Structure 1
Amino acid sequence: MPDSQQIKTQLDIQGAVIGPGDENYEESLRLWSDTCYRRAAAVVRPKTANDIASTVQYARKHSLDLAVRGGGHSTLATSSTDGGILIDLGKEMTRVVVNPDTQTVIVQGGATWGDVSREVGRYPLAVNGGTVSMVGVGGGLSLEGGYGYYAPQHGVTLDTIIAAKVVTGTGEIVSVSREENPDLFWAIRGAAPTVGVVYEFTFQAYPQPNPIWYGMRSFPASEVQSVAKALNTALFHPRGKAAAQCLLYLSPEDGKTPIVSTVLFFDGSEEEARGHFAQLLKIECIDDNMQMRPFSQTNTVLDPFVPAGGRKNEFGFQTTLPPRPGFVAEILDYITAKCTAEPELSHSSVEIDFFDPTQICRVPVADAVFPTGVRLMHGTAMLQWTDASKDEESFALGKAIQKMTERELLRQGEKQSLTVSDFTAYNQETKLSPAEMFGENAPRLLDIKAKYDPANMFNKQNPIV
């Protein structure tokens, strides 16, 4: 098996190949979460599709472990490799090209949603993307669902992918769409990390001639049930123009005072927005930065809550539609008690997305491998700390929050879905069956996996065999 130096000398590509001893090697291994740090034998920063193809072929020939990084925001270490080759798209392959005539956007696989929103924002257009600007376009968001503020209007992000370019597990460069290689196009929309490297997307954009009412409004913990009731009232809009998020956390000023914040999004006039969220706006707040903003700024409010660096773990969960206000209060009480008792976790938070799933559920499950069109709401426990000795404690807290939400679903006559989405992803340690991860779409996916990745080169995220 070749060592780091051999990989560097034998891999003939246009992009950089970085190994131990190089000045920028340690920097090349840094991810959003320090829990995912692994020492790759070589980090490849491809400039072209041929670079990616050559790297995949080389790794396959020499039986080397292979990982792919887009935005690098997974907390499952699926964008890392210990002793293998890491393909890092985020340095060279970040181009975004907008075609206002066809209302389409071509995005390379290493771009972030901040990159996309800045370029799209130059035109009277919008794309159905993520809610945090630093998150990568590919990987776990676009290719495993993609729940954002436009979900009530346009469904999940992967529903707006109209074409893509992929490097398969055999090192073949393939263009995909509903007309071209439709089987692989079907598979990447929900399971791309298991069948290939999607290095370019074409998204459908939508007219957005006017600014959007967007921002954050915060309340004292004593108002948590009133806030949840008001968000439930505003959950449905007849044209899908409204979306909101509820954030439960401790004040960053003292690390002790619990706060309830809402991120509000309304695709319409401020007058109509204030009418729609009227019940929430009646509640006395402690901070408010709501304003009409251009599309390019509508994924920025949450950025300060999830800075790069430090140790992080994300635990996705589901709640009833709508969630019971008393249960939202229970979650706030629980994380307040846990995070004040352990100050290392004081920057953690729980976020619940108040996104009407009606449009998402209109898309047939068989349309793409994406298996999670359920009439439930989604949320995330975002745990942050710095001391590695607290890793197990953090993991236990995340699992406890998931168990709380699972019990609440059962009490309300609902059942948790374990299938894959950008809220629920798995790594090699999970050992779930394809059917558990992909539901009724698993048999077809297994056939496509065998065709395009017979050597199982892509086995990090939601691994299937």
Structure 2
Amino acid sequence: MSPNPLDIQSLVSDLRSTLTSTVLTPDSPGYTERIVRWSKTIPNNADIAATVVGCRKYGVPFAVASGRHTTSDASSCEDGLIIDLHLLNIVSVDPDARTITAAGGCIWRDVDEAAAQHGLATVGGTVNDRRRHGLIIDNLLSVKMVLADGSLVTASKQSLPDLFWAVRGAGQAFGVAVEFTFRAHEQRNPVWAGKLLFPLDKVELVFKFANDLMGTSDGDSAVMINISTSPRANGELAIAVAVFHNGSSESAQSIFQPLLDANPLVREVAERPYSQLNGMMNPTFRDRKRSVDKGAAYTIPLRPEFVRDVLAPEIRRLHSQIPASEETMILLEFYPTNKWSEIPVEATAHGHRGNFQNIMIAPRWKYAEHDAIAKQWALNVAGLVVKEREEYGPPIEEPITEYGNYDHLSARPRGVYGMNLERLVEVKKVYDPDNVFNKWYPLLKE
């Protein structure tokens, strides 16, 4: 239900008289460019707290946006207010303690570049996940948050440990994260990384290599594989392989030689600073048209026949159904799972740990009239991945959940948090019993 317009006006009046940040409304200069309700100047924690309390007072819905790297609607709000953190992007590094503290609006480039000045790095985004050190949340030491009642708290293993458990996997359901402190790791040497592109007829070779790598990598080598059309392959479906090795070109070539010897259409690999890894994938995730992401999990080894005979035809089918959908991609991760699997699933709220990999099904299209077709296509392909895993994948002991960051369509809280859901609900009742933070896998029913 939309809020009363008079309540919105009252909220705007209160905020403009209270905040140091500028409040933008549809009649404000610059509103169209930002499409946000406030944050023309750098927000502070008091502003954020006052905004949360004001929204509750007047019954105005709100959402929180930081890096905006999502295709879900969790960072947007119709007939309400957006707390935009993107200018809250300060990073500080303590090289002696080996910690990195990043404000809530930072993107990984901010963190990577600041850490690199001290020969350090932490586990970050999709490309520079450091599988020798587990998941991002396994390297999180503390988080400062504005809660639903406007209070500012710091959660860690020593302070509010129940909240700290919950936010490592479900932070969006508990408050506005305004500051993170991460454990840092020494990273002085450059890494060998880049992109190789192959025609689709090399599918057996590429996926045999990726499967084998997962059985031999010590955590220093990984690949991501993207199936999509490419201008470098005359507009046909191709296999783009993002390669990573935490070491020299010489040591990398001994591992990746089967791919290097396979006459790739594109060979753009080199030693580079570790801090550049996140940006390496930027051309893949260029400015989007209409888009949505859907996740699923698969197990190793993945049959090349599944990619060639199921996934590739599905992409072609979407192209035939929807004009201007050529930027659609299916992205498969091949990361060593040993480190993150050492930590029990119940140790954090994140329910997605185990000896399995993630696939991101990402339709991209142009016209709103095709929204339903594209979303249903993504759901159908995810179902095919699950069917493949159940019919041909090796048995594994742990239950398989959904990776929430890749699923913006159909997952339910149980599917994301698995065995942790009941405990999450109990912690939610303590810190946000009124369900103020109800975006993206809400834990309490309205």
Deviation of 1:407 (Å)? 1.0
Counterpart AA for 2:362: M
Q: Kindly indicate whether residue 366 of structure 2 is the aligned counterpart of residue 383 of structure 1.
A: no
SS of the equivalent of 2:283 reads helix
CA distance in structure 1 between the aligned counterparts of 2:114 and 2:166, rounded to whole angstroms: 28
Q: 2:31 aligned to 25, 29, 38, which one? A: 25
Aligned residue for 1:171, secondary structure, equals coil
The whole-number CA distance in structure 2 between the counterparts of 1:236 and 1:119 is 34
- Secondary structure, aligned partner of 2:101: strand
Q: Distance in 2 between matches of 1:25 and 1:74?
A: 21
Contact 1:194 1:460 in 2 (8 A): yes
The whole-number CA distance in structure 1 between the counterparts of 2:334 and 2:233 is 28
Q: Which residue of 1 aligns with 2:381?
A: 401
Residues 133-176 of structure 1, C-alpha deviations (whole Å, 9 max, x = no match): xxxxxxxxxxxxxxx5312x111111110111011111110011
2:14 alignment counterpart: 10
Change (3 A) 1:188 1:225: same
Q: Is 2:72 the partner of 1:93?
A: no
Report the Cα offset of residue 346 of structure 1. Answer: 0.4
* 1:424 pairs with 2:404: no
Aligned to 2:105: 110
The alpha-carbon deviation at position 408 of structure 1 amounts to 0.2
Q: Which residue of 1 aligns with 2:156?
A: 177
| SS of match in other structure, 1:363 | coil
Residue pairs, 1:88-237, within 5 angstroms? 88-90=84-86, 92-131=87-126, 148-151=128-131, 153-237=132-216
Q: Measure the CA separation in 2 of the matches of 1:48 and 1:112.
A: 18
Once the two structures are TM-superposed, the CA of residue 275 in structure 1 deviates from its matched residue by 1.1
Q: Counterpart in 1 of 2:431? A: 452
Shift of 1:7: 2.4
**Equivalent of 1:70 in 54, 66, 73:** 66
Range moving further from structure 2, 288-297 or 231-240:
231-240
Q: Which residue of 2 aligns with 1:137?
A: none
Distance 2:156 2:408 in 1: 25
8 A contact 2:351–2:401 mirrored in 1: no
| 1:419 to partner: Cα distance | 4.1
TM-score with structure 1 length normalisation? 0.88
Map of 2:228 onto structure 1: 249
1:364 corresponds in structure 2 to 344
What are the ranges of 5 or more consecutive residues in structure 1 without an aligned counterpart? 30-39, 133-147
Equivalents in 2 of 1:373, 1:253: separation in Å?
36
Q: Secondary structure at the match of 1:20?
A: coil
Q: CA deviation at 1:423?
A: 2.4
Q: Secondary structure at the match of 1:234?
A: helix
Maintained 8 Å contact 1:97/1:107: yes
Give the alignment's TM-score, normalised by structure 2.
0.92
Cα contact 2:296–2:403 (8 A) shared by 1: no
> What SS does the corresponding residue of 1:277 show, helix, strand or coil?
helix
Give the Å deviation of 1:203.
Answer: 0.8
Structure 1 contact 161–203 (Cα < 8 Å) conserved: yes
CA separation of 1:49 and 1:237: change in aligned 2, threshold 3 A: farther
Matches within 5 A, 1:287-306: 287-306=266-285
Letter in 1 for 2:227: L
Q: For residues 17-51 of structure 1, what are the alpha-carbon distances to aligned partners after superposition, in whole Å with 9 as ceiling and x for unaligned? A: 1111112112222xxxxxxxxxx7x3356611111
Query: 2:376 and 2:340 mapped to 1: Cα distance?
Result: 32
The 3-state SS of whatever aligns with 1:105 is: strand
Q: CA 1:256–1:223 in 2, change beyond 3 Å: closer, same or farther?
A: same
Partners of 1:302 and 1:53 in 2: how far apart? 35
Q: CA-to-partner distance for each residue in 1:53-79, whole Å, 9 max, x for gaps?
A: 111111112222121111112212111
Number of residue-to-residue matches in the alignment? 433
Question: Counterparts in 2 of 1:336-351, with a 5 A limit?
Answer: 336-339=316-319, 342-351=322-331
Corresponding residue of 1:32? none
The letter of the residue matching 1:301 is M
Confirm or deny: 8 A CA contact 1:103 1:204 kept in the other structure.
yes
Q: Partners in 2 of 1:309 and 1:234 — Cα distance?
A: 32
Offset of residue 421 of structure 1? 3.2
Q: Is 1:334 matched up with 2:350?
A: no
Whole-angstrom CA distance in 2 between matches of 1:451 and 1:255: 57
How far 1:443 sits from its partner (Å)? Answer: 2.0
Amino acid at match of 2:381: I
Provide Cα deviations, 1:197-219, integer angstroms capped at 9, x if missing partner: 11110011111110000100111
Distance across 2 between alignment mates of 1:25 and 1:237: 52
Q: Secondary structure at the match of 2:264?
A: coil
What whole-Å deviation, never above 9, does each CA across 1:346-403 have from its counterpart, x for those lacking one? 0111110000111111111121111111211111112212211121121122112111
1:210-255 alpha-carbon deviations (Å, 9 max, x no partner): 0000100111111012111111122244531111101111013687
- Preserved contact between residue 91 and residue 111 of structure 2 (Cα < 8 Å): yes
Letter paired with 1:53: A
Note closer, same or farther for the CA distance 1:170–1:447 as it changes in structure 2 (3 Å cut): same
Kept after mapping to 1: 8 A contact 2:7/2:58: no
1:334–1:184 CA distance, 2 compared to 1 (3 A): same
Gaps of 5+ in 2: none
Q: Distance in 2 between matches of 1:229 and 1:9?
A: 62
Whether contact under 8 Å (2:294, 2:379) holds in the other structure is yes
Question: How far does residue 291 in structure 1 lie from its aligned partner after superposition?
Answer: 0.2
Shift of 1:5: 3.6
Contact 1:255 1:347 in 2 (8 A): no
SS of the equivalent of 1:80 reads coil
Query: 3-state SS of the aligned residue for 2:278?
Result: coil
Name the CA shift for 1:182/1:212 in 2 (closer, same or farther; >3 Å).
same
Q: Secondary structure at the match of 2:406?
A: coil
1:278 Cα deviation after fit: 2.3
Q: Distance in 1 between matches of 2:411 and 2:318?
A: 29
Q: Percent identity?
A: 29
Q: Please, which moves more after superposition, 237-246 or 359-368?
A: 237-246
Contact 1:215 1:289 in 2 (8 A): yes
Indicate if the aligned counterparts of 2:233 and 2:265 stay in contact, CA closer than 8 A: no
3-state SS of 2:293 partner? strand
